[in-house]
Amino acid sequence: MDSSAPAAEADELAARLLHPLADELLAIATRLRDAASAPGDQSPRPQRSDRRYLALARQAYTLRRKRAAIFGNPELFGEPAWDILLDLYIAHGEGKPVSVSSACIGSAAPPTTGLRWLGVLADHGFVLRENDPEDHRRVLVRLTRSGITAMERFFDAI
């Protein structure tokens, strides 16, 4: 008589019973993680964005730089807010932090213009500024959940 058959049946029964519990625990952990965000913070923890969207964002950003270089005057096509959103979306997809100064550089505009647009984007709830936990001299900026959703809706549309 094969003694492994009852053991296999017991393992199968345990798996059927534990699988729904594991799913429920995962859902609870996700809700707890989301609830742990500071009040008013609409942004998720950095995650990998959809690869297609990330590729589109990189392509759009690269084409904007090429267009400015070909025409010889970046001011002809200035859209600092869009450049910032593209830069932050790419950084979000790559899981990289972005300092305020780096976001200003990414805007392809003078620093004061980049700072002004970061303020406008923050006022509209698309970006969030926060102190860098590793270097208290730096301020980081990232997309909020609303900013990520808007970017993904845009890439969905194209």
Q: Which of 24-38, 41-55, 61-75, 97-111 has the lowest mean pLDDT?
A: 24-38
The number of domains in the chain is 2
Assign 33 a pLDDT band (cuts: 50, 70, 90). low
| Residue 41 lies inside a defined structural domain of this protein | no
* CB 71, CB 110: distance < 8 Å: no
For the chain, what is the mean pLDDT?
80
Report the distance separating Cα 49 and Cα 145, nearest Å.
Answer: 12
Q: Return d(Cα 61, Cα 44) in angstroms, integer.
A: 23
One domain for residues 21 and 81: no
Tokens of 43: 């942004």
CA–CA separation, 87 and 61 (whole Å): 7
Mean per-residue pLDDT, 101-115: 92
69, 133: one domain: yes
pLDDT tier at 77, thresholds 50, 70, 90: confident
Q: To the nearest whole percent, how much of the chain has pLDDT over 90?
A: 44
Q: Do both 75 and 118 map to the same domain?
A: yes
Domain containing residue 98: 51-157
Are residues 71 and 8 part of one domain? no
pLDDT at 13 over 90: no
State the pLDDT confidence band at 50, using cuts at 50, 70 and 90.
confident
Q: Are 73 and 22 members of one domain?
A: no
Read off the pTM. Answer: 0.66
pLDDT at 149: 95
Are 64 and 115 in the same domain? yes
Q: Looking at the structure, do residues 79 and 137 belong to the same domain, yes or no?
A: yes
Same domain, 23 and 55: no
